[in-house]
Amino acid sequence: MMFRRSIGDFSVPDTGMEDAAAPPTFPQAVAQFNPDYFLRIKPGEAWFGSGKNASGVEGQASSSGGLHAEQHFEFERPVRPGDVLYATEKAGKTWEKESKRAGKLMFSERIIEYRDADGTLVCTARGVGVKTERPVDQG
């Protein structure tokens, strides 16, 4: 419900009880359930981001931080409220390309398979991230 609201999808009335299938991009919110996700705040660690000073995530390059280049979802069945899914992640291909707007582009693919408790595949998500040599030129 919260996720649907955040993408401006009001096709399902907010009753808190709805059992409509999740929007197709919802599996991306798996980050919420991954205790090791690098953008997750952890007990005993400082929040990242700018306080007095401009700051990002400790140890991450600033200007060449990753951008999202592609994302693909393939569903064997819809994801519904109440589902408990198990995610396994594996690295895919990597490749490089030169671009006029951002210098050298380094692409890397990441594949996440979501399975139910029986091990049956529900959804495959393939993401491609890109690290740019410099910020993308807006001209």
Partner 1 sequence: MTIKASEISVGDTFEEVLVEDLKRTQLVMYSGTSGDYNPLHSDDKYTTEAAGYPGVFAHGMLTMGMTGRVVTNLFGPENVKKYGVRFTNQVWPGDDLTGKAVIEAIREEGGETLVDLAITTTNQNGDVVVMGNATGRVEA
Dist. CA 36–CA 40, nearest whole Å: 7
- Is residue 3 near partner 1 by the rule CB under 8 A? yes
* The only residue of 15, 16, 36, 39 in contact with partner 1, by rule CB under 8 A: 39
User: Is 121 within 8 Å of 68 (Cβ atoms)?
Assistant: no
- The nearest distance, CB 5 to partner 1, in angstroms, is 7
- Is residue 110 near partner 1 by the rule CB under 8 A? no
**Amino acid found at 33:** F
Which of 21, 1, 116, 3 shows the shortest CA–CA distance to 78?
21
Residues from 16 through 35 that contact partner 1 (CB under 8 A): 20-25, 28-32, 34
x/- contact string, 53-92, with partner 1 (CB under 8 A)? -xxxx----xx-x-xxxxxxxxx--x-x------------
Give the interface segment with partner 1, choosing from 15-23, 83-91, 92-100, 107-115 (CB under 8 A).
Answer: 15-23
Count CB-CB contacts under 10 A for residue 2: 7
Strands 86-99 and 66-75, by their bridges, are unpaired
State which residue, 73 or 108, has the beta carbon closest to partner 1: 73
Secondary structure class of 112 (helix, strand, coil):
strand
* The only residue of 13, 49, 81, 92 in contact with partner 1, by rule CB under 8 A: 49
Dist. CA 37–CA 31, nearest whole Å: 6
